[in-house]
Amino acid sequence: MSTIGFVGLGNMGFPMASRLAEAGHRLIVEDRDQGAVQRFQDQHPGSRTAIDVKAWQDADIIITMLPSSDIVEAVLSGGVAAAASLNTLFIDMSSSEPIRSRNLGQRLEQQGMRYLDAPVSGGVRGAQNGQLAIMVGGNWQDLDQAKDIFDVLGKSVIHVGKAGSGHAAKALNNLVSAASVAATVEALRVGERFGIDPATMTEVLNASSGRSNTSENKVAQFMLSGTFGSGFPIGLMTKDIKIATALADSLGVEAPFSHDCETIWQSVLDAGHGADDHTRMYEHLATPTPAFNDERQIHA
């Protein structure tokens, strides 16, 4: 069993760190929200906090599960990396920026440490159930060391390529997911205006070629139910789309559809809805619905 430092006990990090503690690993946890740290310690009395930065030197592996590259880099340069022992394996499981991750990996290696990027997909439910998909950038030997940990957290572990590749794959996955949410919501709205009940339209999608994770696991569960409780906000989804479009731009790949997708999500973010659950796009992308029986509204 390993001693694992875990920074970021939010919607995802808390259940992930909990699973690791329950699997018998020794946890050292940290979050700027001391309430989250306290809750974690109450639930896992064997865990430690990193009140003293020297605590990080006991960790074999340090995992970050934080909102962005800015915050990951600030936390590491804010004392964690300096306090860690030589050869510590850093694993950034956040959805971070791939080029910055590649550079961060190189900097850590120059300091005698090791680095993997290992972002996840599967949401809060996947984190709670150990059913995440984990996409890994970095070298095979480091992945081997982390494999026991990944097996506690996820159902599939995919080695994508060099450092940063996991973060690139994650952003591209979420670009596809965001496009699917927007397209599905628009289809439901058009159908509704034509008089097709959204639940019926969802049934059609799920039985047909338009089905997706959105139609199967989000529409009925979070949108039509009105709970909007997936645990993944519009702000984080928009961040991921922008990572994907920035990557396309920096590589000189034209991606007009992806930029259109970014514009749609960014406009909802700019309207002040960043903290809303991303399934609330069902409300935010809604346009006023004229009466179905007004034939002038139907352009045949």
The site map against ligand NAD for 92-131 (x = CB under 6 A) is --xx------------------------xx-xx-------
**Residue 10 touching ligand NAD (CB under 6 A):** yes
- For ligand NAD, which residue of 71, 176, 196, 246 counts as binding (CB under 6 A)? 71
Dihedral angle sign, alpha carbons of residues 7, 13, 14, 18: negative
Q: Of these, 5, 13, 15, 154, which contacts ligand NAD (CB under 6 A)?
A: 13
Q: Does 134 bind ligand NAD (CB under 6 A)?
A: no
Using rule CB under 6 A, residue 28 touches ligand NAD: no
Going by C-alpha positions, the residue among 96, 46, 98, 44 that lies closest to residue 72 is 96
Identify residues 230-269 at the interface with ligand NAD (CB under 6 A). Answer: 231-232, 236
Sign of the Cα torsion 278, 279, 284, 285 reads positive
Catalytic residue status for 170: yes
Q: How far is CA 279 from CA 62, 73, 113, 124, 249, in A?
A: 32, 29, 39, 14, 27
Residue 64 binds ligand NAD, judged by CB under 6 A: no
Positive/negative CA dihedral, 267, 272, 274, 278: negative
CA distances from 136 to 141, 142, 273 (A): 12, 10, 31
Considering beta carbons, is residue 7 or 175 the nearer one to ligand NAD? 7
Single out the residue of 4, 63, 65, 135 in contact with ligand NAD (rule: CB under 6 A): 65
Q: Rounded to whole angstroms, how far apart are CA atoms 118 and 94? A: 8
Query: Which of positions 74-93 make contact with ligand NAD (CB under 6 A)?
Result: 74-75
Contact with ligand NAD (CB under 6 A) among 17, 20, 25, 31:
31
User: Which one of 4, 27, 36, 241 is in contact with ligand NAD (CB under 6 A)?
Assistant: 36
The reply to whether 53 sits near ligand NAD by the rule CB under 6 A is no
Q: Which of 54, 155, 162, 170 is catalytic?
A: 170
Q: Which of 1, 22, 24, 32 binds ligand NAD (CB under 6 A)?
A: 32
Give the Cα separation of 155 and 241 in Å (integer): 24
Q: Residue 94 contacts by C-beta under 8 Å, 6 or more apart in sequence?
A: 8, 64, 65, 66, 67, 68, 69, 71, 72, 119
Residue nearest to ligand NAD (CB): 10
Is beta strand 132-137 parallel, antiparallel or unpaired with respect to 120-121?
antiparallel
Asked if 6 interacts with ligand NAD (CB under 6 A), we say no
The 8-class DSSP code of residue 84 comes to S
Positions touching ligand NAD (CB under 6 A) are: 7-13, 30-33, 36, 65-67, 71, 74-75, 94-95, 120-121, 123-124, 231-232, 236
**What are the residue numbers of the active site?**
170
